[in-house]
A and B are shown apart, each in its own frame.
Chain A
Amino acid sequence: MNTNSNLYTVIYTAIIVTVVAAVLAFVSQSLKDKQEANEKAETISQMLTAGGFGSKAEFQALGNAKVLETYGNEIGEAFTVNAEGAKVADLDLEHKEIFSRSQLKAQNYKVKDGEGYEIPVFKFKNGITVVPVYGAGLWGPIWGYIAFEADGKTIHGAYFDHESETAGLGAKIKDDPDFQAEFVGEQAFFGQSPVFAIVKGGAPKEEGKSVVDNQVDAITGATMTSNGLDAAINTWLGAYAAYFGTVKEEVEE
């Protein structure tokens, strides 16, 4: 048989590609549930890390079941809010319903438009509120969770993750605990613009002196990722401004 004829070549490649596609589709479908369970536990451990319930490494060592259990014990309320800051719907606590990355991505378009969004709020029993942020880094999506104290403006902790930022530079938003620690104690200025800022060299932390403002230092050598994170935080916290506005009134009463 002449394996070099055009017809043979075309048919051969068509068959190979079809077979490979079928194998991949089958495997992807049959492993989907397990992968989603892992993703969910990962997301929950990120929220718990932001909320200061432990470090990311600790949660990793605990395993999925324990992470879900901790979340079940600590979570008080979880619901979605709209642009007016009003509660829209409860999230199912029994099944530990959270917002997956694809859900955040879907909301991100509406958040950017500034209307029609329904974004999640996770209130823990100890008064800490965790909200997600989502945006574009340099190479791919970046997202994270910011935890607020009961006063609804002071940041209790933050955790960020990314899909494909540069290792050693942009990837520091996830890998560098010092960067995430910078957020602790800072405040978000809801109702102002910008709500929060990641700036170049403008937010010095002098030794023994903590300046409480709405700024943290950007990452050296990762300007694009820092800008992306800045935009993600501002857009999303801006979208939560109405909600946290109502929280503040409650506290003042």
Chain B
Amino acid sequence: MKLKETIFDPIFKSNPITVLVLGICSSLAVTVTMKGALVMALSVMAVCGISSFILSTLRNTIPGRVRIIVQLVVVAMMVILVDQILKSFEATFPIDKQLSVYISLIITNCIVMGRIEAFALGNKPIPSLLDGLANGAGYGLVLLIVAFFRELLGSGTLFGMQIMPASYVTNNLVILPPFALILLGCIVWVQRSIQKDLQEK
């Protein structure tokens, strides 16, 4: 596979959320605010990219029978590192508190393990790193789109700054997880109407 496809496919053509339908759970939970979504997106990018790189470097030495366990150990290490780092900075500490369990739950995000199994274990380290980062970015992009609408309509703000006029009555439904699912459905709809080859006959 060409490097360019490795980078750009996961952003749109084979987006992990809208096409592969992975990582849905966390995308419903962390998209109430743009800040939360951005931090989550960057965290998933870091975890996915770096663990793909590490496992791709080790790929010829990993014993086949404990393959998944070795992957889990590396991914878990990355998730704990990200969590620890977020907790240490004054700017990210409240966001880490707001995201609460969802940072630790990156470990169960199917995108991470999925890309490691499907790509990193069969490719060289640098393409694996890019693949991991690109899939994280594709996930993050959808997260940010959903969070944009949810924060704007639900709280009238973007990144915590007041956007809507003061008379705007915030929509409580938008804050609740079901609306994220509705929005995700709309995004899938838009993508499928642009990308005809995804449509079933």
Q: Which residues of A contact B (CB under 8 A)?
A: 3-4, 8-9, 12-13, 16-17, 20, 23-24, 27-28, 31, 34-35, 38, 41-42, 60, 63-64, 164, 167-168
Chain A residues closer than 8 Å to B168, beta-carbon distance: none
Within the assembled complex, what's the spacing in Å between the Cα atoms of A24 and B76? 10
Q: Give the contact stretch, choosing among B89-97, B124-132, B135-143, B187-195.
A: B89-97
Chain B residues closer than 8 Å to A168, beta-carbon distance: 176-177
Partner of B61, one of A3, A28, A34, A63: A3
Partner of B90, one of A16, A38, A164: A38
Given A13-B70, A17-B73, output 9 extra A-B contacts at Cβ < 8 Å: A3-B61, A13-B63, A13-B66, A24-B80, A31-B85, A42-B97, A60-B94, A167-B29, A168-B176
Assess the B74–A12 pair: CB atoms within 8 A. Answer: no
Assess the A8–B73 pair: CB atoms within 8 A. Answer: no
Assuming the A-B contacts A16-B70, A42-B97, are A24 and B64 also in contact, with contact meaning beta carbons closer than 8 angstroms in the complex? no
Q: Which residues of B contact A (CB under 8 A)?
A: 29, 60-66, 69-70, 73-74, 76-77, 80-81, 84-85, 87-90, 93-94, 97, 100-101, 176-177
Closest to A64 in B: B90
Assess the B81–A27 pair: CB atoms within 8 A. Answer: yes
| Consensus secondary structure, chain B interface | helix
User: When A and B form their complex, what is the total count of cross-chain residue pairs whose Cβ atoms lie within 8 Å?
Assistant: 64
Partner of B88, one of A17, A34, A63: A34
Assess the A8–B63 pair: CB atoms within 8 A. Answer: yes
Nearest chain B CB to A248 CB, angstrom units:
37
Chain B residues closer than 8 Å to A17, beta-carbon distance: 73
Nearest chain B CB to A232 CB, angstrom units:
19
Nearest chain A CB to B98 CB, angstrom units:
10
Assess the B101–A164 pair: CB atoms within 8 A. Answer: yes
Partner of A12, one of B61, B80, B84, B97: B61
Chain B residues closer than 8 Å to A63, beta-carbon distance: 90
Closest to B58 in A: A16
Chain B residues closer than 8 Å to A9, beta-carbon distance: 63, 65-66
- 14 contacts across the A-B interface (CB closer than 8 A): A4-B64, A9-B66, A12-B62, A13-B63, A13-B66, A20-B73, A20-B74, A23-B77, A24-B77, A27-B81, A28-B84, A34-B89, A35-B88, A168-B176
